[in-house]
């Protein structure tokens, strides 16, 4: 039924998949927020590995640099700056949990049906670029230079706003 060749790429795919799934499950089930951030960083690293398997080295590098590094550290700083009290739990809401489980199973069923009933076209041969990073850089600094600069200004304004808000709480 399945004609699968067990190559190194195939094994690496399942290793990265296992890392991502375990990290996601731990993110949801762990109680300490720092442990949640570490498991989320594992998901980001697994995703970077997937990008390497897809020959998208630049995107993998950015994934590790921005998400696994900067976002995880930013979340840890946010945790340290807020008044987080461990051990405080919300009361159980069985109706909400039951409705969430029914909704999740329904979504799974709809997605499973949609994926199984979709006719996919034959894949075209992949034409790999000479240098992915060079192509992204040329496109970013020629065709998309205005949105790139606007995003940098937006991030700077958000950063300054976060500092102002944190400073007002300290006073």
pLDDT band at 170 (very low <50, low <70, confident <90, very high): low
Q: Which residue has the tokens 């995880």?
A: 72
Gap between the Cα atoms of 19 and 17, Å rounded: 5
Question: Is the confidence at residue 39, as pLDDT, over 60?
Answer: yes
Instruction: Characterize 71-91 residue by residue with b for buried, 16 or more Cβ atoms within 10 angstroms of its Cβ, and e for exposed.
Output: ebeebeeeeeeeeeeeeeeee
The pLDDT score that the predictor gives to residue 122 is 84
| pTM, full prediction | 0.59
- Most confident listed range (14-28, 128-142, 144-158): 14-28
- Over residues 4-25, the mean pLDDT reads 92
């Amino acid at each position: 039924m399945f004609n699968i060749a067990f190559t190194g790429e195939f094994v690496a795919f399942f290793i990265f998949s296992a890392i991502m799934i375990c990290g996601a499950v731990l993110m949801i089930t762990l109680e300490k927020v720092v442990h949640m951030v570490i498991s989320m960083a594992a998901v980001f690293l697994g995703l970077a590995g997937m990008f390497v398997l897809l020959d998208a080295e630049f995107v993998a590098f950015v994934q590790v640099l921005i998400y696994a590094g900067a976002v995880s550290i930013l979340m840890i700083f946010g945790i340290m700056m807020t008044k987080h009290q461990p051990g405080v739990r919300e009361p159980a809401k069985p109706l909400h949990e039951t409705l969430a489980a029914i909704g999740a199973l329904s979504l799974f069923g709809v997605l499973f049906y949609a994926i199984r009933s979709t006719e996919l076209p034959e894949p075209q041969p992949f034409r790999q670029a000479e240098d992915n990073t060079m192509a992204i850089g040329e496109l970013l600094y020629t065709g998309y230079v205005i949105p790139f600069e606007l995003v940098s200004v937006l991030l700077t304004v958000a950063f300054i706003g976060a500092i102002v808000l944190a400073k007002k709480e300290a006073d």
